[in-house]
Structure 1
Amino acid sequence: MAAFSRHCADVVKHHVPDATSVRTRAIWYGDQTRSRVVWTDASGRKWQWPLYFAFNACLRKPAERDAIVLRSLQAVLNPPQPQDEDDAEEELWVPRTAEQVAQRLLALIAVVWRANASEEIAQQGIAWAREHGIDAFLSPQELRFVFNAQRPPQQDLVNFGWRAEAMLPMAWALGAIPTLPPSHRRADIWKIPLVQQARQSPADFIASASLRPDGEVSDEEHRLLDEHWHVRDAQLRRQPIPSGLDAGIVLERRYALSWMVGYGKNWDEVPTDT
Structure 2
Amino acid sequence: MSHEKSEKLLVLPDWRTVSLRALCLGMFLVRMNVEEGLKRKAVTSDKAPQGLAESLDRYLKNHGVLASLSPNEKTLVGKPVGSWAMQDIVNTSWRAEALGSILWALTQFESLPPYDTPFVLPEILGKLGNPDDFPNRTTLRTPIELSKARNAAELWHWRARTAVVQRRGVAPPPGLTFPGIIAQSAKMAFQERLIPQPIDNDFPFSGKPYSKLSDAEYQNAGSIAQERHFAFNWLCGYSANWDETSTST
- Range class of TM-score, shorter chain: 0.5 to 0.7
- What is the rounded CA distance, in whole Å, between the counterparts of 2:93 and 2:13 in structure 1? 23
2:103–2:109 Cα contact (<8 Å) kept: yes
Matches for 1:1-274 after TM superposition, within 5 Å: 25=2, 37-39=4-6, 47-48=7-8, 92-116=9-33, 117-119=36-38, 123=53, 125-150=56-81, 151-192=83-124, 195-196=125-126, 198-200=128-130, 202-238=131-167, 242=211, 246-274=221-249
Q: Following TM superposition, by how much is the alpha carbon of 1:227 offset from its aligned partner in structure 2, in angstroms?
A: 0.8
Counting strand residues as a fraction of each chain, which structure ranks higher? 1
TM-score (norm 2): 0.68
Which of structures 1 and 2 has the bigger CA Rg?
1
- TM-aligned CA distance change 1:179 to 1:228, over 3 Å: same
Paired AA for residue 137 in structure 1 = S
Task: Give unmatched runs, 5+ long, in structure 2.
Answer: 39-47, 169-208
Paired AA for residue 21 in structure 2 = R
State the structure with bigger RCO (CA 8 A, min sep 6), 1 or 2.
2
Aligned residues: 188
1:113–1:125 Cα contact (<8 Å) kept: no
**Percent identity of the aligned residues?**
31
- What is the rounded CA distance, in whole Å, between the counterparts of 2:67 and 2:128 in structure 1? 16
Match of 1:10 in 2: none
1:217–1:257 Cα contact (<8 Å) kept: yes
Q: Following TM superposition, by how much is the alpha carbon of 1:197 offset from its aligned partner in structure 2, in angstroms?
A: 5.3
Q: Following TM superposition, by how much is the alpha carbon of 1:211 offset from its aligned partner in structure 2, in angstroms?
A: 0.9
- What is the rounded CA distance, in whole Å, between the counterparts of 1:109 and 1:225 in structure 2? 24
2:234–2:245 Cα contact (<8 Å) kept: yes
- What is the rounded CA distance, in whole Å, between the counterparts of 2:129 and 2:80 in structure 1? 23
Q: Following TM superposition, by how much is the alpha carbon of 1:113 offset from its aligned partner in structure 2, in angstroms?
A: 1.0
Q: Following TM superposition, by how much is the alpha carbon of 1:99 offset from its aligned partner in structure 2, in angstroms?
A: 0.9
RMSD: 2.5
TM-score (norm 1): 0.62
- What is the rounded CA distance, in whole Å, between the counterparts of 1:197 and 1:253 in structure 2? 18
Write the deviation string for residues 163-202 of structure 1: whole angstroms up to 9, x where unpaired.
Answer: 111001111111111111111222213224xx435342x2
